[in-house]
Structure 1
Amino acid sequence: MTDQYDELLPTTRRALLHQVAVAQAEGRTPSMVAAVVRDGRLVWSGARSMIDGHAPTADVQYRIGSLTKTFVAVLVLRLRDEGLLDLADPLERHLPGTPAGGVTVAQLLSHSGGLAAETPGPWWERTDGSLRPHLDDILEPGREFKHPTGRRHHYSNPGYALLGALVERLRGEPWGEVLRREVLAPLGMDRTTLLPEHPHAGGFAVHPWADVMLPEPLTDTGLLGPAGQLWSTVTDLARWAAFLAGGDGKVLAADTLAEMRRPAVGPDGADWSSGYGLGLQLANRDGRVLYGHTGSMPGFTAGLWVSESDGLAAIALSNATSGASAQQLAAELIRVTAEHEPRLPEPWRPLSSVDEELLALTGPWYWGAAPHTLRLLADRALELAPSKPGARGSRFRAEPDGTWTGLDNYYAGETLRVVRAADGSASHLDLGTFVFTREPYGPADAVPGGMDPQGWRAY
């Protein structure tokens, strides 16, 4: 039993360890190891195992399965940010000759290309990659597509094998070496590798009806490696979670990571439970929005989730094929930590400087007869909030040309301009052609379509 970090309260640490112990016992897994990250720092790790008086440390490697896809997605987004590809590019433009040449890079990242979920032939996760030496071998000829391209989310492991090959084509070297040099080394993740390195856990299958175990093979999946090959530790994955939450200029900007966690296909409806961005899974657990990824390979399960609103992330790893759900445990660790130690709000502080012209813009504005409030934030940012809950509002980033760009909700990406009268005073706000005025349909205002000359009146 381990409990290495004392930044959390003792009651919180005890509750977290209880979650791990229950998952290991009820899930009948040889071992489990977990960690919690708060505001970018590893603040707790704990573990349980089947061996009395022993549990894996935070430096023991486990296979992380499809968590590998988050790393591959970061490599692809680096290529995009460098201008070497566009997400709208068809794969054929950069990797000619595959059966999925018409699928775009974005569709591969978001599993919306319609490709088959698995490879033909024997179960790729449990057989050596030498059985599929060429890209043509990872999709069944004539049956590559299961759905129309771009229409729905359909998880595809071969799709990420193609993305790994795309990275290799544009970088001119194996994707694993690109990953080590461009991502792992800058983030200090020296215990994340393609093949296991001591100390590492062995993978097991546990009999469903008896407490006996069977070792699982530790395979090198070859071309399918980008779909689930990596091994890592909770210490390294804590660094990965901190990076996914805040970015790192040496690897990928925070704005690009925010793009990765926006839903690319779905979710649908207000009661959505899961979705997918660009290499990141999205989950709605009891009203808490999480992003990250889950993973499984024969002998292992893994989960990494980040809750932006709580400033928390959690990782859980196990070495059993089924039973204990590391994916579910990671989400539970976030919930427990947030309930025991809810995030403290940042102290209110006044702005360090203020532009008088911007200050004069604050206060009530009206879209037609609908009242809104404009607030001035730090760095010349603005927030337009409707008075009626559920109506359209957004935060806006200041641009060098004197306009603002919407950051969220309906107005995300739209341009906000201040239109001034001949005397320099603010006439109205133009937000993607929507006009906001200082009065509700004021007679002197620039109201699209003009005003009834009689103005407001009783009926």
Structure 2
Amino acid sequence: MTTPQEELLPATRRALLHRIAVAQAEGRAPSLVAAVVRDGRTVWTGARTCVEGHAPDEDVQYRIGSITKTFTAVLVLRLRDEGALALSDPLEKHLPGTGVGEATVAELLAHSGGLAAETPGPWWERTPGSLRPELSDVLGERPLVHPAGRRFHYSNPGYALLGALVEKLRGAPWEDVLRRDVLEPLDLRRTSVRPQAPHAGGWAVHPWADVMMPEPLEDLGRMAPAGQLWSTAGDLARFAAFLVQGDERVLSAESLREMRTPAAPVEAADVASGYAYGLGMELRHQDGRALVGHTGSLPGFLACLTIGLSDDVSAVVLANCTSGPAPFTVAADLVRIVAEAEPRVPAPWRPLREADPAVLELVGQWYWGTYAFALRFSADGLLSLEPLSGNGRRSRFRAAGEGVWVGLEGYYAGEFLKPVRRPDGTVSHLDLGSFVFTRQPYDQEAPVPGGVDPEGWRGIG
């Protein structure tokens, strides 16, 4: 018997505290608060501040900037799951007259709609939203800078449009829909559109002197769905757990997996840095570890929520300064510290309660031409196909009814795997997106496209 570890080890907790202490000191942040989540539960919080005896805790609000976009994306995916829209719908279908209606909902979510990065006019993050009362003020006279769907180009106005889309289809303000559909079901009581005490003030720290200046705390108006929210380390820790596990009251785990899947064309520079974008979520690689989540910044604040899916460890970092600490680097380090110091203990292996003989007939070794593959059936009800040696195409498949399986990832995502049976009911071969997989290399008894030489295999005489 083993006892589940309810808390992190003292050495791990000290390493986490040391990391945020270094970040606060070297980044010269007035305050910095962090949280770590494992197995859906907050297992550590820590904070550092320059004010003696007044360190913030997981209940103090900070502005979270573009992490707001992930909340907005959840609202849009809810509409999709309810059938109110399709991700392939052009914006014009639901929100006519914007001038950028050819961009699809998915392209706006993935920042590939071709929209400009920022709004025209004064710096929107440091000026009141009343200067941009209409969507036309957000978009300006040149809203498109690239053809829709051609490249990833981060766009804050694109998420203002998605917020307006939510309002149009729900018939209520974005903040009301967010509170009703996400914040209340997930018990995120300290996440709000406007600051609620206790909250941190935003500061600019002079780059060449140890002095500070307060930053304005503006209501962003139409731009709110792109970056308005205030939240706490505690609430964002609960939100991170939701982004991993899902909650049927808000959004399914399957739809959240879709949000975490790359959805935008990747630029060469992004490939080199290991950066990609899904539907409202950033995908990064750090120290060989895949991380998903979002960063955020507004004048006076820096934020990051990141999730190491393979380790089931998430981290939140919040600071109240315009520049200084690198929140993603710090959050990624917090994930790494826990993952390496206290590796995830796998659940005990358990066999299936029962197995369909028709499925068991499929498992084992198969050949695509002369390439050898193994097909396995696991207790989660999925088939997995992988090469027996070297690198090659691999995917998991879930049952899609009538003996057909659909690919979940990689080259075969969305493709159908179909067992083809002989008249006597035994399996002749597998059809995978038109590729024929046989039990023997180029099996003469299977309908291999192009045929098989009737003399079969031979040496060189």
State TM-score, norm by structure 1. 0.96
Residue 245 of structure 1 and its aligned partner are, at CA, apart by: 0.8
User: Which is further off, 171-180 or 79-88?
Assistant: 79-88
Secondary structure of the residue aligned to 1:107 is helix
Matching of residues 182-261 of structure 1 within 5 Å: 182-261=181-260
The equivalent residue for 2:81 is 81
For 1:42, the equivalent position in structure 2 comes to 42
CA deviation after TM superposition for structure 1 residue 359, in Å: 2.0
Amino acid at match of 2:373: H
User: Which residue matches 1:31?
Assistant: 31
2:113 counterpart of 1:117: no
Aligned pairs for 1:338-417 (under 5 A) are 338-417=339-418
Q: Does 1:13 align with 2:13?
A: yes
Conservation of the 8 A alpha-carbon contact between 1:379 and 1:398: no
Query: Where do 5+ consecutive residues of structure 1 fail to align?
Result: none
Match of 2:431 in 1: 430
Alignment deviations for residues 337-381 of structure 1 (CA, whole Å, 9 cap, x no partner): 111111122222222212233223221111112111111212542
Is the deviation greater in 221-230 or in 396-405? 396-405
Aligned twin of 1:160: 159
Flag the 1:343–1:268 CA change in 2: closer, same or farther, 3 A: farther
Please give the alpha-carbon distance, in whole angstroms, between the structure 1 residues aligned to 2:265 and 2:338.
29
SS at match of 1:399: strand
Partner of 2:100: 100
> Any stretches of 5+ residues in structure 2 without a counterpart?
none
The 8 Å contact of residues 275 and 283 in structure 1, kept in 2 or not, is answered as yes
1:97-117, Cα deviation, whole Å (9 max, x unpaired): 112122111111111111111
Cα RMSD over matched residues? 1.4
Q: Secondary structure, in 3 states, of the residue corresponding to 2:316?
A: strand
C-alpha distance 187-135 of structure 1, shift in aligned 2 (>3 A): same
Paired letter, 2:455? Q
Aligned match of 1:446? 447
In structure 1, how many angstroms separate the alpha carbons of the residues matched to 2:238 and 2:245? 11
Please report how far the alpha carbon of residue 54 of structure 1 lies from its aligned counterpart in structure 2 after TM superposition. 2.5
1:14 deviates by: 0.3
2: CA distance between counterparts of 1:16 and 1:227?
Answer: 30
The CA deviation at 1:6 is 7.0
Q: Which residue of 2 aligns with 1:51?
A: 51
How far apart are residue 88 of structure 1 and its match?
1.3
Q: How many residue pairs are counted as aligned between the two chains?
A: 454
Give the CA deviation at 1:56.
0.3
Identity %: 63
Task: Write the deviation string for residues 278-297 of structure 1: whole angstroms up to 9, x where unpaired.
Answer: 11011111221111000001
Distance (Å, rounded) in 2 between the aligned partners of 1:380 and 1:218 = 51
User: Counterparts of 1:114 and 1:361 in 2: how far apart (Å)?
Assistant: 45
The Cα of 1:298 is off from its aligned counterpart by 0.7
Measure the CA separation in 1 of the matches of 2:377 and 2:137: 57
Give a deviation string over 1:381-425, Cα, whole Å, max 9, x none. Answer: 211221132111211101222211111111111111111111111
Q: Is the 8 A contact 1:111 1:153 kept in 2?
A: yes
Give TM-score scaled by structure 2 length. 0.96
Change (3 A) 1:268 1:434: farther
Q: Return the alpha-carbon distance in structure 2 between the equivalents of residues 6 and 408 of structure 1.
A: 34
| Conservation of the 8 A alpha-carbon contact between 1:303 and 1:328 | no
Alignment-mate amino acid for residue 434 of structure 1:
F
Deviates more, 1:306-315 or 1:395-404: 395-404
Runs of 4+ in structure 1 over 3 Å off: 266-272
* Cα distance between partner residues in 1 of 2:266 and 2:222: 30
Once residues 319 and 373 of structure 1 are traced to their aligned partners in structure 2, the CA distance between those partners, rounded to angstroms, is 52
Task: Name the structure 2 match of 1:67.
Answer: 67
